[in-house]
Amino acid sequence: MSDRSVAVPEGMVFARQAHVLAQARSADSTVVVVRARSVAPGRKVVRQATPVVKWATRSATQGPTVRLERMAPARMARSQQTAPRRTMAAARRANVQRAQEACKRQRITTCYPAAMTTSFVSLHVAVLTISDTRTLDTDISGRLIADTLCEAGHEIVARNIVVDSIEPIRTSLRTWIDDPLVDIVVSSGGTGMTARDVTPEALAPFVTKAIPGFGELFRWLSYAEIGSSTVQSRAEAALCNETFVFLLPGSPAAVRLALDKILVQQLDSRHRPCNFVELLARMRGPTS
């Protein structure tokens, strides 16, 4: 059989659900080779001789899966007359829409889809700078946090600068942790070893569950830049009630490292295999 280009029929069941790579006909079967990626009907394909159908589907939790089967010409003809089923992507979009409607009914300000989804979820972020000398005009690290997370698609709902003292730090943290409009708190400064570095101590009473992996990963990444000096950083993260709090060093370079290598990814609901947004979904999102 010589290779030649053919067009996939409008009604073919495969055309809307997978990327059709090849179609062929033999004496006893019709062969379609597909790949897990959506294309529009009418896509040009190459006719080849092979007796097996490779059919790819996508699972919401396990990613692409492939199964092999044969399809007789008569069955192919029937499938071409049947409207394609709704794709998995359309089903996920419908689930997300139902979750959003449920959130509105329950007066939840930020909707977190209960199931894993490819949709981006914008979070409400509060930014705290701990410094005796910085102002909003000179706060490079705070501005870097706000700008980076805004560019990532999140919303900065509060920003403040307080002095290196436990009570002012604790007051700001308590206010935002108790505020249902705040999902994430990111601070910079006060994580060193001097007597004035008290940000971790200020956060301690509010910690529901510590996230030691954040500090471990940050120091491991930082080691590539500053070597063993990274052991003096007490950067950490914790879940406080239903709010995630991240304590970053005051250095702009350290803030950039934490944002680019950890936070931007972990605050993205599309990041796999897991992210912090999914945890918020379990705590705040609809249960059904």
Rounded mean pLDDT, 200-226: 97
For residue 264, pLDDT over 50 is answered with yes
* CA dihedral sign, ordered 133, 149, 259, 284: positive
Is the peptide bond prior to 273 cis by the omega test (within 30 degrees of 0)?
A: yes
pTM, two decimal places: 0.61
Summarize pLDDT for 97-110 with one digit per residue, the tens: 776 676 555 554 45
Tokens of 135: 């102002």
Q: Is the pLDDT of residue 29 over 60?
A: no
- CATH code for 122-268? 3.40.980.10
Pick from 229, 247, 225: nearest CA to 237 = 247
CATH 3.40.980.10, the chain: domain bounds? 122-268
Q: Which long-range contacts (CB under 8 A, 24 or more apart) does 57-65 make?
A: 57/17, 57/18, 57/88, 58/88, 58/89, 59/88, 60/88, 60/92, 60/115, 60/116, 61/116, 64/36
- Indicate the pLDDT class of residue 281, thresholds 50, 70 and 90: confident
Q: Is the pLDDT of residue 75 over 70?
A: no
User: Which residues contact residue 97 at a Cβ distance below 8 angstroms, ignoring those fewer than 6 apart?
Assistant: none
The CA–CA distances, whole Å, from 52 to 10, 66, 283 equal: 22, 12, 46
The predicted-structure confidence for 39-72, as pLDDT tens digits, reads as follows: 344 444 333 333 333 333 333 334 433 333 334 4
Phi, psi of 67 (to 5 degrees): -130, 155
Say how many C-beta atoms besides its own lie within 10 A of residue 269's C-beta. 21
Taking only the tens place, the pLDDT of each residue in 148-158 is 999 999 999 99
pLDDT tens readout for residues 232-261 = 999 999 999 999 999 999 999 999 999 999
Mean pLDDT of 106-134: 75
Q: How far from 167 is each of 143, 223, 232, 241, 243, CA to CA, in Å?
A: 23, 32, 23, 20, 20
What number is the average pLDDT over the span 28-37? 38
Q: Would the pLDDT of 285 be above 90?
A: no
